[in-house]
Structure 1
Amino acid sequence: MPLFKKIFKIVFLLGLSLGIVAFFGLAGAYFYVNSSLPEFDTLEDYQPPAITRAYSEDGQTIAEFYRERRIVVPVTRMPKPLIQAFVAAEDANFFDHQGIDLVSIFRAALKNIKAGGIVQGGSTITQQVAKSLLLTPERKFSRKFKEAILAWRMEQRFSKREILYLYLNQIYLGHGAYGVQAAAENYFDKNVEDLNLAECTVLAGLPQAPSRYSPYRHYNRAKDRQLYVLERMIANGYITSDQAHKAYTDPLVVHPRGDNSAAGTGYFSEQVRRYIEKNYGRDLLYSGGLQVYTTMNLSMQQVAQKAVRDNLQRHDRRQGYRGPVRVLNQQDALAFVDQQTAELNENPLEPGQVIEALLVDSSDQQLVVRIGAYEAVLPRQKLKWAEPFDVIPYEVFAALDQDQKNNNEKTLLPIGSVIQVKIRSVKQSHPTDIDLFQYPLAQGALLALDPQDGAVKAMVGGYDFAKSQFNRVLQSSRLPGSAIKPLIYAAAFDKGYTPASVILDTPLIYKETDNKGEEKEWKPKNYGNKFYGPTSLRTALTHSYNIITIKLLNNIGINYTARYLHKLGITSPLNRDLTMSLGSSALTPLELASAYSVFASGGIKTAPTYITKITDRNGRILESIDPADFPNGLDADQKLIRLERQRVISQETACLITNMLESVVQRGTGWRAKALNRPVAGKTGTTNNLKDAWFVGYVPQLVTISWVGYDQEKPLGKNETGSKAAAPAWVDFMKQTLAGMPAKNFTVPDTMEFHPVDPKTGLLEPEDSPTSVIEMFAPGTAPTRYALDEKKPQARDFFRLD
């Protein structure tokens, strides 16, 4: 017995000593790390990084900007089963512990020892919040110790609801989604409050390993993990077995969120992104949760993108087929098919997709290609645009030298050629209809804006934003050619000219001396090398005669005209010589569209606008175009966007130009726009060397500009004028866009005058004259003489000596 007491005493003293050492050790460790613990007082006002969203004019999301895709939502929006599922799966005792769950830590330790590695963590939800928001992810005991201390402190400061708010908005749930709202959109294309029990339990199974349990890539694993979550919910008394069985067996529809940036909005969205970054900084742009409301009409934008692409593809086909992407030998061809087959097993073919195909056979009626494991045919009748081409065996092709390949009269298509095709239809993953395809080399741009308020409704800066972010609407300065002429005519009208004014269309020769003292000649000419004699300004603009415009510019003055063009909205430098009349000064499509909008708006210049309102994550308005949004005045960080509207020309001058541009459409180079079957004003533009093609046109509600050209400037091809190369995109866009808008006539001021005139002289004629035409004049500018007076012989003055 004394021996037992002695042993007990030794053990007791040893245990007490170890306890004291442990206590002082823990206390020392606490005081040691306490000084390095981060402050968490700011968590009371903590707002997790959130995405910035941009919306179209009707409230549809067009773009998102973020580092972490997170949409912060209050706990009140989260369904009760969602919260219960996360608690059951991640921290069953969450509502009972004070930040640390010793039982869970001990249980996890035993499992990890048994497994010989870390298979389960013992961190509570509160600890996960502390680690995520306040600590680094390093795996050290000191970090775990800090985590436990911070978790305990957080439990003293915050309610369970507040901790859940931080946790469920912060946690990463795979595929770029942070927080439950972003994950609900990612996996089910739903708002978090609309999730059912099955969907809630799938999300709750993700935190442990989001990529491993992704319902996209590993559906069966996700279902296994869902079953675990449901069992934990039953064990915690949150649901019944019947509810769990129904949630597990009901079909789970994984419906990925659509990618808004791929809907043809890239060029417009990038302009919005640049504006936000410039005015609010990168942090607010990517983490601030701003809501940006824009002027974009989403349906117009998507129609514009399609119109530009279709037009460029038609132009590219007119230039001919450039041949295969590459040619493969038999071994490489087999490897190509194997690799493509594996890729298509992961991502099946979809209609509209452009993909590479391998040419494997041909006949007089068709070409046979292989796309992965599938064969498809290209009927020869669909390949007429690509002719002439010659399908030859690979061995014959390989035996040719490079000169023979390059100088062949026909495009060579050896068996083994990799070509691009567009999938038209698919049945059970099999391509049932395909077209030969090649990406256009030329680029295009289209801009549509409201002339009354400058709101940009659609903006396409190129064929594909994913391939080239260079925005040709804003960043590309190109020669406008004849599209500049209406601006010069407007300047002439304000100098006293009228649509009936007549100028002789005759050959011109200008001589000048260059910097080297050498004399050079400039012999401008009309398209087609013809001259038309006495010509009215209306006729000259209708048919885009160059000589008349040159003489007109010379008469009114180059410097005056340059100032006038700047007044209309042309900000680029202008060549101060007579070539200005032919569009020799480069400018952007935005500048030209802005100048034409002055005519469409009745003489008012309005700065283009992209954004109508911006709010912060709490809904507070930061800037707006509507003064009513600031009833109590502006705070220091708020801004009223003022529409810059300024009358720069008279209503009468704007009306005259519009009326003459209607003639361009009805009887001249803008004839393609007649397809709209409504009042339209428009003008083509073509440079002498066919490097740029333009069409600018408008109706009372909308101004639209279309441009086509190569980035590395070169001719567009034979007869590729503004009418042929650029106008079709304009017509396609306007036809669809205006389908739901009523046809309107252009406004004619009451002051305008109408008189019958002789088209050859521009002088008045009697109303019943068979040769007269009715012409429009600004008040006080109509001719006062009659053409008949000019034709009468004058009485001789016999008292004159001569």
Structure 2
Amino acid sequence: MKYFKPLFIAFLVSVVLGIATIAGFYIYLKPQLPSVEVLKDVHLQTPMKIYSHDGKLISQFGVKRRIPLTLDQIPQQLIDAVLATEDSRFYEHPGIDIIGVMRAAVNLIVTGEKGQGASTLTMQLARGFFLTREKAYIRKIKEIFIAWHMEQVLTKDEILALYLNKNELGHRAFGVGAAAQVYYGKNVQDLTLAEMATIAGLHQAPSILNPISHPQRSVARRRIVLLRMLDENYITREQYEQAVSAPVTAKLHGAEIELSAPYIADMAYHEMIDRYGKEEAETRGYSVYLTTPSNMQQYAQQAVVRNIHDYDERHGYRGPLKQLWEAPKVNAIETSKTQDSSFESETTSTEQSFVPDVIDTSYRWNEQQMQAALDDIQTYGPLVPAVVTETAQQSIKVFSQRGQHIEIDWDGLAWARPFINDARQGPDPEIATDIVTEGALIYIRKRDDDPSLWQLSQFPDVSSAFVSLNPKNGAIQALVGGYSFYQSQFNRATQAKRQVGSNIKPFIYSAALDSGYTLASIINDAPINQSDRESGIAWRPKNSDGKYDGPIRMRVGLGKSKNMVSIRLLRGVGLDNIISHLSRFGFNPKELPHDETLAIGSASLTPMEVATGFAIINNGGFAVTPYLIERIEDIDNQIVWQAEPEIACHKCESNSTDEKADNSETDNNSHVKLAPRVLDPQNAFLVTEMMRTGLRANGSWTYKTYWQGTGWRARNLLHREDLAGKTGTTNDAKDTWFSGFSPDLVATSWVGFDNMSRSLGRTSANQYLLNKNPQKYNWIGNAMVGGEDGARAAQPAWIRFMQKALDGVPEKPFFIPDNIITVRVDRTTGKLTQRTDHTSLFEYFKKGTEPTQYVRPDEVYDPYIEDEGQPQSEPEDIF
């Protein structure tokens, strides 16, 4: 008893001193301790994600990759693996594990080293949020106090959820959700036990234990995690044995991109930066939903890429990237070109050549050497680097960057006649070695007509852009800024101001309609020769085809894209009035040329500006504003911003903008904002009618009144009546355009070189491609012949896009506004007529502008009678 009492007193004194010491430390450190209340509403840094209109992931922006998960979204086995390894008594201690602390103290006394931290899961979380990883006594004391506070403020489940979502786990993955994606390309729910154990083991030291950088260390750590799970009875011996022997399957995975559309992703990213600032936009976990449906974007991208290759390949092959090896020259018999695609040799009694018994192939590179060379070559779009390993008469074999041995037949080679310059190509190839030789480093791509086959290809020199809008509200339906964002981030759809050529003419004709002209007005299509006495320079504009039709109706002038008619309309309306009218379509009057060249397209506009202008014509005169982001959601999937576009709605004009719009025009019953009207609906309709003429064959071949609009291929290939469009070509074909629309979709296509001094040139016939399918390739494809223009270079992308976008969409007539009437007029003079034969047709007019004079008999011109001397009275189609 005499020993017990002193020991008891000593114990009490020690306890009091310990409590006093702890209290002293707490009082001393309290001002330095952060408030853990912030953890109740903590915002983990989570990347911004960009989605298509239908919810497909397009891109992800942010340094830290994190997929926040609730505790019930994380598999129990993964939770068990973390608890067993990091803190098996997590649910039992108050944030500080006394047993662990005592174990660390004993280790320090015995070894003199701070080898064991004794940190609980809560203490680790406290350090991660508020402290550093420095091994110092004062840091450990702070860690203990903060952990204790955390246990008072948060529940155990809340602490565990924060821990599993916050910790860095290597390769910029934060939290177990992101780690599952980065290392295995899976959702966390789909992980195997071995994969869960691997991720659980990363918490100790992700930089040296991750399975990509250090697979052997990762396997050893995984074994420790599985042993701890076995010790804690979380798994059976059988599960342990199976998981511990599992192979390492981890490899670096990117975000699960479902739609690659980097140009629109970049646009959305910069809009978010402008709205929220870089740090908040990239770290608050915003989900950005665009107006662009994934299928429409894919249609546009496929159309642009194929059209670029078609143009580039019909202008010839510029040769391989490099020659990796040359076949040695041997004293062999000369091979001859044969018709049966085989090599044959002949010998004569007077001339014998030495043929070795064993052919030396040591000069050829092996697969490892070829793969090393191919791995250094950048891939773009559909292009795959490859090495030619063998050539036959009309085929080659290649080894691709993907490790495949591929044979390319003559259909995949025959296009590759030599490129001389933009306007000249060399002779058609006859055998494979006319194109490439063994050892050539080339690009290949899958064939457009049969994706199971491959063809020779090359990186295109030419550029392109494409924009599609919903004309009712300006929503961007598709946008392509170039061939490859990874080769050039310059967005030609929104940043490239290029001369628009004849794409300006519908807007010029709109101004003419506002000044009293009609679709039946007669304008003289005759040459213009204007001299400037001061400069001594004469301006002699020409029609693109070099032909002049004399006096023609205004509808025909736009359909045939007559430059002389457009210039004379500008003169009739007045330059200032034209510029003022063009500003209604959103074109900046300060950037428009203040001279007569404006009438034939010297203005420079972006494809987006052009498409927006045509949307106004399409929708009946409403100035809609293009927009890309439909809504923004926060990390909790709550909408924080919703687009409220101004809409085009004819039936809404008579109502207050606060009232509900008609369902047939707005597609919903929500409150809408009416877009400002900038053009009379009658004017917009009449321009649309003239643009419809440009896409079809008009008149009658039999009665000598036949003529084609410059965009006739569109109707021939799309087989629809509800289309309107306009080609555009500048001087020397440096810029080519095609813009057009159906009632609910507007699209603009541009093709040209980034180097504005280069012309798109012309092509001669590749006879092999023409013979293969002359009808198809003369209309659309890589064997078109002649000078490049809007119809040949830019229109094919528009056609291919519309073929997909309108597939299954019923034809729909364009909206006909009030006060539009039709009257029968004479085909030649545009005057009223009582004839009902092929010399007359029906024409649209705004009520009150229709002609009042009838054509005199001596004014009637009948080309059939003039040519054949046979009168006819059979009526033909209107317009």
Does the pair score TM above 0.5? yes
Counterparts of 2:112 and 2:312 in 1: how far apart (Å)? 64
State whether structure 2 residue 610 is matched by structure 1 residue 595.
no
2:827 matched to which residue of 1? 759
CA, structure 1 residues 659+220, in 2 after alignment: closer, same or farther (shift >3 Å)? Answer: farther
- Name which of structure 1's ranges 350-359 and 709-718 shifts more when overlaid on structure 2: 350-359
Amino acid in the other structure paired with 1:55: Y
Amino acid in the other structure paired with 1:417: A
Asked if the contact 1:607–1:644 (Cα under 8 Å) also holds between the matched residues in 2, the reply is no
State whether structure 2 residue 493 is matched by structure 1 residue 452.
no
Task: Find the partner of 2:852 among 784, 791, 794.
Answer: 784
Task: Find the partner of 1:645 among 671, 675, 681.
Answer: 675
Counterparts of 2:452 and 2:682 in 1: how far apart (Å)? 59
1:723 matched to which residue of 2? 791
CA, structure 1 residues 500+641, in 2 after alignment: closer, same or farther (shift >3 Å)? Answer: same
CA, structure 1 residues 16+649, in 2 after alignment: closer, same or farther (shift >3 Å)? Answer: closer
After TM superposition, the structure 1 = structure 2 runs for residues 52-63 of structure 1, keeping only pairs within 5 Å, are 52-63=48-59
State whether structure 2 residue 479 is matched by structure 1 residue 417.
no
Amino acid in the other structure paired with 2:528: L
Residues 438-474 of structure 1, C-alpha deviation per residue, up to 9 Å, x if partnerless? Answer: 1111111111111111111111111111222211111
CA, structure 1 residues 352+290, in 2 after alignment: closer, same or farther (shift >3 Å)? Answer: closer
Asked if the contact 1:62–1:265 (Cα under 8 Å) also holds between the matched residues in 2, the reply is yes
For these two proteins, the number of residue pairs brought into alignment is 745
What secondary structure is seen at the aligned counterpart in 2 of 1:548?
helix
Asked if the contact 2:58–2:258 (Cα under 8 Å) also holds between the matched residues in 1, the reply is no
Give the drift of 1:621.
3.3
2:260 matched to which residue of 1? 264
State whether structure 2 residue 698 is matched by structure 1 residue 698.
no
1:132 matched to which residue of 2? 128
2:576 matched to which residue of 1? 559
Give the drift of 1:152.
3.3
Give the drift of 1:554.
0.7
Task: Find the partner of 2:718 among 658, 669, 676.
Answer: 676
Give the drift of 1:214.
5.0
Residues 592-647 of structure 1, C-alpha deviation per residue, up to 9 Å, x if partnerless? Answer: 111111121122221112122223333443322369xxx9xxxxxxxx99856111
Asked if the contact 1:445–1:708 (Cα under 8 Å) also holds between the matched residues in 2, the reply is yes
Give the drift of 1:127.
2.2
Give the drift of 1:169.
1.2
1:800 matched to which residue of 2? none
- Name which of structure 1's ranges 206-215 and 541-550 shifts more when overlaid on structure 2: 206-215
Residues 716-757 of structure 1, C-alpha deviation per residue, up to 9 Å, x if partnerless? Answer: 121111111111111111111111322212122353211111
CA, structure 1 residues 424+91, in 2 after alignment: closer, same or farther (shift >3 Å)? Answer: farther
1:618 matched to which residue of 2? 636
1:748 matched to which residue of 2? 816
2:564 matched to which residue of 1? 547
Asked if the contact 1:757–1:772 (Cα under 8 Å) also holds between the matched residues in 2, the reply is yes
After TM superposition, the structure 1 = structure 2 runs for residues 195-214 of structure 1, keeping only pairs within 5 Å, are 200-210=196-206
CA, structure 1 residues 656+140, in 2 after alignment: closer, same or farther (shift >3 Å)? Answer: same
Unaligned runs of 5+ in 2: 328-361, 421-432, 646-657, 659-669, 698-708, 763-786, 861-879
Give the drift of 1:559.
0.9
What secondary structure is seen at the aligned counterpart in 1 of 2:807?
helix
Give the drift of 1:777.
1.1
Give the drift of 1:333.
9.0
What secondary structure is seen at the aligned counterpart in 2 of 1:448?
strand
Give the drift of 1:227.
4.7
Asked if the contact 1:453–1:643 (Cα under 8 Å) also holds between the matched residues in 2, the reply is no
1:657 matched to which residue of 2? 687
Task: Find the partner of 1:498 among 508, 515, 518.
Answer: 518
2:383 matched to which residue of 1? 354
Asked if the contact 2:471–2:744 (Cα under 8 Å) also holds between the matched residues in 1, the reply is yes
Q: What's the TM-score once normalised by structure 2's chain length?
A: 0.76
CA, structure 1 residues 259+153, in 2 after alignment: closer, same or farther (shift >3 Å)? Answer: closer
Give the drift of 1:557.
0.9
Counterparts of 1:731 and 1:380 in 2: how far apart (Å)? 28
Task: Find the partner of 1:463 among 475, 480, 483.
Answer: 483
Counterparts of 1:191 and 1:260 in 2: how far apart (Å)? 10
State whether structure 2 residue 323 is matched by structure 1 residue 327.
yes
CA, structure 1 residues 420+95, in 2 after alignment: closer, same or farther (shift >3 Å)? Answer: same
Residues 239-285 of structure 1, C-alpha deviation per residue, up to 9 Å, x if partnerless? Answer: 44455567678999879866465833211111111111111111221
CA, structure 1 residues 643+696, in 2 after alignment: closer, same or farther (shift >3 Å)? Answer: farther
CA, structure 1 residues 770+414, in 2 after alignment: closer, same or farther (shift >3 Å)? Answer: closer
Give the drift of 1:681.
0.5
Amino acid in the other structure paired with 1:681: A
1:99 matched to which residue of 2? 95
State whether structure 2 residue 755 is matched by structure 1 residue 712.
yes
After TM superposition, the structure 1 = structure 2 runs for residues 21-420 of structure 1, keeping only pairs within 5 Å, are 35-101=31-97, 103-104=99-100, 122-187=118-183, 191-192=187-188, 200-210=196-206, 225-241=221-237, 244=240, 259=255, 263-328=259-324, 338=368, 341=371, 354-371=383-400, 375-388=405-418, 413=436, 415-420=438-443
CA, structure 1 residues 742+228, in 2 after alignment: closer, same or farther (shift >3 Å)? Answer: farther
After TM superposition, the structure 1 = structure 2 runs for residues 762-773 of structure 1, keeping only pairs within 5 Å, are 762-773=830-841
What secondary structure is seen at the aligned counterpart in 1 of 2:301?
helix
- Name which of structure 1's ranges 31-40 and 346-355 shifts more when overlaid on structure 2: 346-355
Give the drift of 1:492.
0.6
Counterparts of 1:469 and 1:117 in 2: how far apart (Å)? 54
Counterparts of 1:109 and 1:320 in 2: how far apart (Å)? 78
- Name which of structure 1's ranges 149-158 and 254-263 shifts more when overlaid on structure 2: 254-263
Amino acid in the other structure paired with 1:548: V
Counterparts of 1:539 and 1:389 in 2: how far apart (Å)? 38
Counterparts of 2:690 and 2:558 in 1: how far apart (Å)? 7
CA, structure 1 residues 117+536, in 2 after alignment: closer, same or farther (shift >3 Å)? Answer: farther
Counterparts of 2:634 and 2:235 in 1: how far apart (Å)? 39
Counterparts of 2:72 and 2:377 in 1: how far apart (Å)? 40
CA, structure 1 residues 141+726, in 2 after alignment: closer, same or farther (shift >3 Å)? Answer: farther
Residues 218-252 of structure 1, C-alpha deviation per residue, up to 9 Å, x if partnerless? Answer: 77876665454333223223344455567678999
- Name which of structure 1's ranges 106-115 and 693-702 shifts more when overlaid on structure 2: 106-115
Counterparts of 2:84 and 2:509 in 1: how far apart (Å)? 77
CA, structure 1 residues 476+350, in 2 after alignment: closer, same or farther (shift >3 Å)? Answer: closer
Counterparts of 2:372 and 2:602 in 1: how far apart (Å)? 54
Unaligned runs of 5+ in 1: 391-409, 426-430, 632-639, 793-802
CA, structure 1 residues 416+20, in 2 after alignment: closer, same or farther (shift >3 Å)? Answer: farther
Task: Find the partner of 1:686 among 704, 712, 729.
Answer: 729
What secondary structure is seen at the aligned counterpart in 2 of 1:744?
coil
Asked if the contact 2:318–2:419 (Cα under 8 Å) also holds between the matched residues in 1, the reply is no
Give the drift of 1:478.
0.5
Counterparts of 2:416 and 2:44 in 1: how far apart (Å)? 56
2:336 matched to which residue of 1? none
Amino acid in the other structure paired with 1:422: R
Give the drift of 1:367.
3.4
CA, structure 1 residues 343+548, in 2 after alignment: closer, same or farther (shift >3 Å)? Answer: closer
Asked if the contact 1:604–1:646 (Cα under 8 Å) also holds between the matched residues in 2, the reply is yes
Asked if the contact 1:131–1:137 (Cα under 8 Å) also holds between the matched residues in 2, the reply is yes
Counterparts of 2:473 and 2:626 in 1: how far apart (Å)? 8
Give the drift of 1:366.
3.1
Q: What's the TM-score once normalised by structure 1's chain length?
A: 0.83
Q: State percent identity of aligned pairs.
A: 38
What secondary structure is seen at the aligned counterpart in 1 of 2:307?
helix
Asked if the contact 2:825–2:841 (Cα under 8 Å) also holds between the matched residues in 1, the reply is yes
CA, structure 1 residues 641+106, in 2 after alignment: closer, same or farther (shift >3 Å)? Answer: farther
Asked if the contact 2:364–2:439 (Cα under 8 Å) also holds between the matched residues in 1, the reply is no
CA, structure 1 residues 615+259, in 2 after alignment: closer, same or farther (shift >3 Å)? Answer: closer
Asked if the contact 1:333–1:358 (Cα under 8 Å) also holds between the matched residues in 2, the reply is no
